Chain A
């Protein structure tokens, strides 16, 4: 069973607020990912990290930023939330030995 955690699970916040979505994993995985999932279910990779101090933009442009100061922690930050940021955000990680990714439970963000 994979151990990857996301907090908060649900967040309703007003426009212009700064928010940080937390993601932590206890498996020692080097690679971590952030996906945005739209209401049509499709997943879009927005950020990824190879390891500590490594972050890259994904396939879908996003106004969010990420950091990777510790192996187990990969937070996502929105400096000024807007209604267009309303979505489900999923964090995932994978180890060196296999290609499958393990997902957290997600954060459902609503910006009013």
Chain B
């Protein structure tokens, strides 16, 4: 079945460091891919998405490119801030299922220190 694997955390970085959070997926067909962010005490917010191979999603300085050849959708940011501290979830849409549900990775906690 479809699945998402993302790197385990916590990831601890200093402010202005470069961020990569790895995400790989297994899917039949051509799923859409998403990154969600969850700040403490809140629900999930859509951070960015990509709907087809080679698409690059971007938002708030974060980027991720849909790589079909490596089945990956790694999240990157060139210079993190303390305010980026949160849990990040990679997800794919299960287009083949009747619900078109999202399949989530287990989440990666990012802690950015000043």
List A residues at the B interface (Cβ < 8 Å). 6, 31, 33, 40-43, 45, 48, 50, 56, 90, 92, 94, 99-106, 108
Q: Is B102 an interface residue (CB 8 A)?
A: yes
Given A43-B89, A99-B93, A99-B100, is A104 in contact with B43 using a C-beta cutoff of 8 Å? yes
List B residues at the A interface (Cβ < 8 Å). 32, 34, 36, 38, 41-46, 49, 51, 87, 89, 93, 95, 98-102, 104, 106-107, 109
A42 and B107 form a contact (CB under 8 A):
yes
Residues of chain A with a CB closer than 8 A to B106's CB: 40-42
Q: How far is the CB of A98 from chain B (nearest CB, A)?
A: 8
Identity of the chain B residue whose Cβ is nearest the Cβ of A49 in the assembled complex: B99
Identity of the chain A residue whose Cβ is nearest the Cβ of B43 in the assembled complex: A103
Question: Of the candidates B41, B42, B99, which one forms a contact with A56 in the assembled complex, judged by CB atoms under 8 Å apart?
Answer: B99
> In the docked arrangement, what's the CA distance between A40 and B99, Å?
25
List 18 interface pairs A-B (beta carbons < 8 Å), by A numbering. Answer: A6-B43, A33-B101, A41-B87, A41-B107, A42-B107, A43-B89, A48-B99, A48-B101, A92-B44, A99-B95, A100-B34, A100-B49, A101-B46, A101-B102, A103-B36, A103-B44, A106-B41, A108-B41
> In the docked arrangement, what's the CA distance between A101 and B98, Å?
15
> In the docked arrangement, what's the CA distance between A42 and B104, Å?
8
